[in-house]
Amino acid sequence: KLNPQVVEALNKQINNELHASYTYLAMSAYFEAQDLPGFASWFRGHSAEEDTHAMRIFDFIAKRGARINLDGIAKPQTEYESPVDVLEQALAQEQTVTAQINALFELAHEVKEYSTQNMLNWFLAEQIEEEDLFTSILDKAKAASGDRWNLLLLDQELAKRGGGQ
């Protein structure tokens, strides 16, 4: 049986992933309003990716015969100063998620939840990819900042990448 403390923490992480998804959707909406459809679709794709992260944990809890408890999702920030501001906040959010996964792993380790550690290994690897991805797009957004033409070129690149990749 899954340790109850771990079940609670995993449920909390479902909420964290859904909150990340909702935040990226709000960022997508911001870019729609800025007439940057490539950024908008990229963030929308990433929002969908966060939903799959939540569902991975959802499925894990279900498979282990424990109870899934869904909570309310907090309202995301909807206004941003600039594309660079969005990317900075998105990277900060990924760093927060990394810290959450690390804390979960530490708890699973403490209480000797081996299968949970195994499941979390996927997330540890994923967070390295995600932080790297957001860092590279933040760098590009910074390089393009203040120049609408450069921003539109980056927007085109993101439109081609799609799906939050």
Question: Could you tell me if 52 and 58 are in contact, meaning their C-beta atoms sit under 8 angstroms apart?
Answer: no
Is 53 marked within a binding site? yes
Closest distance to ligand OFO from the beta carbon of 79 (Å): 22
- The single-letter DSSP state of residue 146 is T
50 marked ligand binding residue:
yes
Please report whether residue 53 would count as binding ligand OFO according to CB under 6 A. yes
| Residue whose C-alpha is closest to residue 155's, from 89, 95, 80, 86 | 86
Among 27, 58, 104, 130, binds ligand OFO (CB under 6 A): 130
Measured between alpha carbons, how far is 107 from 46 in angstroms, rounded to an integer?
28
Question: Which spans in 64-113 are helix H?
Answer: 83-110
Positions in 92-121 near ligand OFO (CB under 6 A): 94, 97
Positions that interact with ligand OFO (CB under 6 A): 17, 20, 50, 53, 94, 97, 123, 126, 130
